[in-house]
Amino acid sequence: MLADTDDELHAMAERIGVAGRWHQAPPRHDSHYDIALSKRAAAVAAGAVEITWRQCGAMAMRRRVTGELGSHSDAMDWQAKFLAARRDASLQGKIE
């Protein structure tokens, strides 16, 4: 489970009964909770949006790069464009 801010993330965890000790935080991890399926259902009932693992990874990358998660709906497109631009910049450096 991830959120735009840690305050929002912790509030949802508390709302659905996930103990704070399960929070995974920087520097070892991007801020999130790994939650059981039963807690996932509770989170969705409380207003969370279900996303795929790929969307989650792309959103986490976007947050590391830009400071914001952005929308799950365009996360994978953003990631593909970011990686292509980084690859192109790397290739330009090798050519020049």
Q: What is the pLDDT of residues 3-17, one digit of tens each?
A: 999 999 999 999 999
Q: pTM for the whole thing? A: 0.81
pLDDT tens track, the chain, 96 positions: 999 999 999 999 999 999 999 999 988 889 999 999 999 999 999 999 999 999 999 999 999 999 999 999 999 999 999 999 999 988 887 665
Q: Tell me, yes or no, whether 21 and 61 share the same domain.
A: no
Q: Tell me, yes or no, whether 18 and 31 share the same domain.
A: yes
Q: Tell me, yes or no, whether 30 and 69 share the same domain.
A: no
Q: Tell me, yes or no, whether 57 and 22 share the same domain.
A: no
Say how far apart CA 4 and CA 91 lie, in whole Å. Answer: 33
Q: Tell me, yes or no, whether 43 and 82 share the same domain.
A: no
- Count up the domains in the chain and report the number: 2
Q: Which residue spans within the chain are E strands per DSSP?
A: 23-24, 32-33
Q: Which domain holds residue 32?
A: 1-50
Q: Tell me, yes or no, whether 21 and 63 share the same domain.
A: no
